[in-house]
């Protein structure tokens, strides 16, 4: 079974300026439900206030939770922060944290939302309210669940908020592979940034991913990878500038899963970005990512641990 974290509050009403981002969670949930017993569902509790404040400015946290975010910050986010959106913002980081905890026990788990990598300390941005990746990573390290976590961001947009919020924090490293000329205009500095030219397709993308990510993993030796599995590198994405095919996206996710599994590293994924008018098609792609990651991870671990096969880390 594939462990999936979901909360009813994920299904917040879509915003007029961004109909795909807040409403597609319902479609993701419904499509995952069609897989029946293959999905093991888990529901998070809201993230405790002090863990939100450990990453974000307490004044901004209060603005969000009380649904009184100033208009200029709402413009940066891209939609109004209503009480429903505020409730969602508190449970999504908890979902990413819970997925990570499940992954540490089971190998792989997925949050059916999250990937809000543009949110900064004092404001949201780019359809992101709170940065679930940074919040979860900080809590995991500070509570002693892991000594080293690596955030791997394969969204078409740079994970600027994640990089800024975790910079200088012990036990957290960040990797971002993204379209160089895409949002945000002003990039932050990740532990490793891999900017790509417009229009890169499957072969060049996958070769670059392997050449840059694997040495980082082997040098840093994380116990956990938090994976921002954005689908917006696909050709035709409304906000993307790359040109991956569906097969290329599957190959990307199989590579990430196998890289983690064969090294004995736990892997927790978030849905990341994906933009277009067909919400069900976007959701189907996100579901394919989750299924690909889960199946590839567990298959790689099973093969590695099969009788007669040397286990990871043995000599």
Question: Which residues participate in catalysis according to the annotation?
Answer: 118
Residue 256 in 3-state DSSP? helix
Q: Distance (Å, rounded) from C-alpha 86 to C-alpha 25?
A: 16
Question: Running DSSP on this structure, what letter comes out for residue 56?
Answer: S
β-sheet with 149-153: strand ranges across: 39-42, 2-5, 108-111, 266-270, 224-228, 149-153, 172-179, 192-196
Structure-block tokens of residue 73: 């910050």
Phi, psi values for residue 174, rounded to 5°: -130, 140
Give the Cα separation of 306 and 181 in Å (integer).
45
109 three-class SS: strand
Residue length of the chain: 315
Q: Are 313 and 264 in contact (CB under 8 A)?
A: yes
Q: What contacts 311, CB < 8 A, 6 or more positions away?
A: 304, 305
CA-closest candidate to residue 106, choices 22, 36, 40: 40
Q: Which residues contact 294 (CB under 8 A, 6 or more apart)?
A: 2, 108, 110, 257
Is residue 148 a contact partner of residue 197, using CB atoms and an 8 Å limit?
no
């Amino acid at each position: 079974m594939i462990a999936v974290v979901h909360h009813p509050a994920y299904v917040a009403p879509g915003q007029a300026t961004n109909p795909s981002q807040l409403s597609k969670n319902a479609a993701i949930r419904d499509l995952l439900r069609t897989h029946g017993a293959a999905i093991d569902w888990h529901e998070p509790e809201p993230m405790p206030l002090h863990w939100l404040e450990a990453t974000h400015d307490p004044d901004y946290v209060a603005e969000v939770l009380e649904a009184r975010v100033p208009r200029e910050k709402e413009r940066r986010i891209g939609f109004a922060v209503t009480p429903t959106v505020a409730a969602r913002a508190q449970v999504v980081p908890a979902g990413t944290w819970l997925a990570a905890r499940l992954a540490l026990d089971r190998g792989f788990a997925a949050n059916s939302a999250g990937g809000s990598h543009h949110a900064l300390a004092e404001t949201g941005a780019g359809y992101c309210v709170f940065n679930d990746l940074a919040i979860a990573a900080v809590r995991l390290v500070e509570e002693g669940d892991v000594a080293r976590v690596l955030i791997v961001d394969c969204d078409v947009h740079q994970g600027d908020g994640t990089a800024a919020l975790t910079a200088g924090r012990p036990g957290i490293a960040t990797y971002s592979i993204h379209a160089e000329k895409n949002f945000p205009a002003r990039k932050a500095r990740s532990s490793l940034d891999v900017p790509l030219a417009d229009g890169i397709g499957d072969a060049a993308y996958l070769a670059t991913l392997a050449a840059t990510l694997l040495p980082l993993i082997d040098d840093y030796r994380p116990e956990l990878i938090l994976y921002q599995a954005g689908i917006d590198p696909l050709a035709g994405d409304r906000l993307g500038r790359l040109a991956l095919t569906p097969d290329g996206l599957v190959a990307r996710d199989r590579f990430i899963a196998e890289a983690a599994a064969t090294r004995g590293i736990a892997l927790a994924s978030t849905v990341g970005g994906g933009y277009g008018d067909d919400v069900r098609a976007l959701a189907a792609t996100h579901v394919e990512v989750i299924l690909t990651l889960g199946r590839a991870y567990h298959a790689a671990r099973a093969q590695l641990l099969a009788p007669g096969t040397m286990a990871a880390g043995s000599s």
